[in-house]
């Protein structure tokens, strides 16, 4: 998920070109980096089998993305009399998200080809093109891939959430181009976000079936409320309401909301959590949206200072690439391969995942975002096409694995479900 949306501060000595929008002057909110760190930690420990409620970190990512992206787009619309440069926005998103994703796709496929069992390679070859097309979630839904019981055989199963976010990044700016014009734009955006969130909740409740909740868990329509509630928290009606509450009240609300969210994470247990798909996920996303709004209003309160602590903040800054890499690492470094179980194995998995995430940020993400002039404009578009052409060629070159008698069963080599 998934997915950091705020621009990291430019490194010392790095030239940052001026922007015609208020984006360059946007204050950096340190507690939100820490919140991303908390979110990715929850997912890491959930997939390692140590924290049943950690899957809710994905929802926290969704809400953060909706809040941050909507805030940036609304500032641009106000500065440019209701106009939003869609190509520039999508270009920034592409530079932020696609380089690391392309490296993970190629690197994971080669590692699975070299080290993984046949079934893992077969599913990687099947799922990878859908990941590249940002449609992985609908591919898994159509194939009836049960998220809660089958993801241990799919090395890209965690990327359903990246697809949901990417689809949101395509559609939501188009909506804002229509409604964020003229007087009352903030109220209209808030009304659209609130209505969309309510419709998304209704669809989740109506489409939930006890046999398999993958459709509502991974469907863009049924998960949109998390992104839209984050978007709602960034609209002027909500920000004005929080401003009137005052910094002291926002600080107390931050503590209360963080405590409530933490309690829900501790008591949640995957799809078996009571009322998860009948309002539980919605209320969690609503609490997260309010918490984010309070932290943005009052970042120096006790909750804000805790989340702005250096370890959480640094983890948050690599949360995107860490989310991308962790699940392939978990599947490839199985108990049998490592000869470790429990906490020792988890420590190795975390160390390897963090190392790969740091390398991705330093060698791929930051150079493309901040220093590569060729990554912008027409040359950036050509580079993007070239990268995905190379990925397609790689997929065509890797042979399908032999299956049948004599092949190794992935369930014997892969531990954990995810």
Alpha-carbon dihedral sign for residues 319, 325, 329, 331: positive
Q: Which two tokens stand for residue 135?
A: 């449609």
Confidence of residue 145 (pLDDT cuts 50, 70, 90): confident
- Per-residue pLDDT, averaged over 66-72, amounts to 96
- Measured distance CA(117)–CA(153) in Å, rounded: 10
- Per-residue pLDDT, averaged over 149-171, amounts to 89
Does the pLDDT at position 14 exceed 80? Answer: no
Q: Dump pLDDT digits (tens) for 211-227.
A: 778 899 999 999 999 99
Please report the pLDDT score of residue 153 as a whole number: 80
Confidence of residue 417 (pLDDT cuts 50, 70, 90): very low
- Measured distance CA(231)–CA(77) in Å, rounded: 15
Closest by CA position to 136, among listed 16, 316, 1: 1
Does the pLDDT at position 11 exceed 70? Answer: no
- Measured distance CA(21)–CA(276) in Å, rounded: 40
Q: Dump pLDDT digits (tens) for 320-343.
A: 999 999 999 999 998 889 888 899
Q: Dump pLDDT digits (tens) for 227-271.
A: 999 999 999 999 999 888 888 888 899 999 999 999 999 999 877
Does the pLDDT at position 298 exceed 80? Answer: yes
Please report the pLDDT score of residue 189 as a whole number: 96
Please report the pLDDT score of residue 150 as a whole number: 59
Burial 254-288 (b: 16+ CB within 10 A, else e): bbebbebbeebbeebebbebeebbeeebbebbbbb
Identify the bridge partners of residue 269 per DSSP, sorted by sequence position: 271
Please report the pLDDT score of residue 7 as a whole number: 40
Q: Taking the CB of residue 109, how many other CB atoms lie within 10 A of it?
A: 23
Does the pLDDT at position 276 exceed 80? Answer: yes
Please state at what angle helix 220-233 crosses helix 281-297, rounded to 10 degrees: 30
Q: Which two tokens stand for residue 355?
A: 């190392």
Residue 175 burial (CB < 10 Å; 0-12/13-18/19+)?
middle
Alpha carbon of residue 60 to chain centroid = 9
- Per-residue pLDDT, averaged over 149-173, amounts to 90
234-237 long-range Cβ contacts below 8 angstroms, 24+ apart: 234/66, 234/67, 234/68, 234/70, 234/71, 234/74, 234/293, 235/70, 235/74, 235/186, 235/187, 235/189, 235/190, 235/193, 236/74, 236/186, 236/187, 236/190, 237/186, 237/187, 237/190
For residue 272, report the phi and psi dihedrals to the nearest 5 degrees.
-85, 0
Does the pLDDT at position 418 exceed 70? Answer: no
Residue whose entry in the numeric block shows the structure tokens 């949640």: 268
Burial 290-309 (b: 16+ CB within 10 A, else e): bbbbbbbbbbebebbeebbe
- Measured distance CA(156)–CA(328) in Å, rounded: 7
Q: Dump pLDDT digits (tens) for 384-416.
A: 899 999 999 999 999 988 765 444 443 333 333
302-306 long-range Cβ contacts below 8 angstroms, 24+ apart: 302/251, 302/254, 302/255, 303/31, 303/251, 303/254, 303/255, 303/258, 304/30, 304/31, 304/251, 304/254, 305/31, 306/34
Out of 40-49, 190-199, 272-281, 282-291, pick the least confident. Answer: 272-281
Residue whose entry in the numeric block shows the structure tokens 């969690």: 284
Share above pLDDT 90 across residues of the chain, in percent, rounded to a whole number:
68
Does the pLDDT at position 152 exceed 80? Answer: no
Q: Dump pLDDT digits (tens) for 83-136.
A: 899 999 999 999 999 999 999 999 999 999 999 899 999 999 999 999 999 999
Identify the bridge partners of residue 271 per DSSP, sorted by sequence position: 269
Alpha-carbon dihedral sign for residues 347, 353, 357, 363: positive
CA angle 196, 36, 189 (to 5 degrees): 25
- Measured distance CA(32)–CA(342) in Å, rounded: 31
Please report the pLDDT score of residue 330 as a whole number: 95
């Amino acid at each position: 998920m998934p997915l950091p949306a705020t621009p990291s501060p430019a490194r010392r000595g790095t030239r940052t070109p001026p922007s015609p929008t208020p984006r360059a002057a946007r204050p950096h909110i340190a507690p939100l980096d820490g919140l991303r760190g908390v979110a990715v930690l929850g997912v890491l420990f959930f997939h390692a089998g140590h924290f049943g409620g950690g899957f809710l970190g994905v929802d926290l990512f969704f809400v953060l993305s909706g809040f941050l992206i909507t805030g940036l787009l609304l500032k641009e619309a106000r500065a440019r009399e209701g106009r939003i440069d869609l190509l520039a926005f999508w270009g920034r998103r592409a530079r932020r998200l696609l380089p690391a994703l392309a490296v993970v796709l190629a690197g994971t496929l080669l590692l699975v080809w070299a080290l993984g069992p046949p079934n893992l390679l077969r599913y990687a070859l099947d799922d990878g093109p859908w990941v590249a097309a940002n449609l992985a979630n609908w591919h898994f839904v159509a194939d009836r891939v049960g998220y809660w019981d089958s993801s241990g055989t799919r090395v890209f199963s965690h990327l359903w959430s990246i697809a949901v976010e990417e689809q949101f990044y395509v559609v939501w700016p188009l909506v804002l181009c229509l409604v964020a014009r003229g007087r009352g734009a903030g109220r209209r955006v808030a009304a659209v976000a609130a209505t969309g969130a309510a419709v998304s909740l209704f669809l989740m409740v109506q489409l939930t079936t006890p046999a398999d909740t993958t459709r509502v868990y991974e469907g863009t329509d049924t998960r949109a409320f998390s992104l839209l509630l984050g978007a709602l928290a960034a609209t002027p009606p909500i920000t004005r309401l929080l401003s009137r509450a005052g910094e002291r009240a926002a600080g107390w609300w931050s503590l209360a909301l963080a405590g409530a969210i933490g309690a829900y994470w501790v008591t949640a247990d995957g799809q078996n959590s009571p009322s998860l798909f009948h309002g539980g996920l919605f209320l969690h996303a609503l609490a997260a949206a309010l918490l984010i709004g309070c932290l943005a209003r009052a970042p120096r309160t006790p909750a804000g200072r805790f989340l702005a602590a250096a370890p959480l903040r640094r983890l948050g800054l690599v949360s995107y690439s860490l989310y991308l890499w962790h699940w392939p690492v978990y599947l490839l470094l199985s108990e049998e391969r490592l000869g470790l179980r429990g906490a020792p194995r988890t420590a190795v998995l975390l160390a390897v995942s963090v190392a790969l995430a740091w390398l991705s940020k330093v060698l791929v993400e930051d150079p493309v975002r901040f220093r590569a002039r060729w990554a912008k404009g027409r040359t950036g578009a050509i580079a993007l096409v070239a990268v995905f052409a190379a990925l397609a060629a790689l997929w065509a070159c890797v042979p399908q694995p032999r299956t049948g008698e004599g092949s190794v069963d992935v369930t014997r080599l892969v531990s954990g479900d995810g």
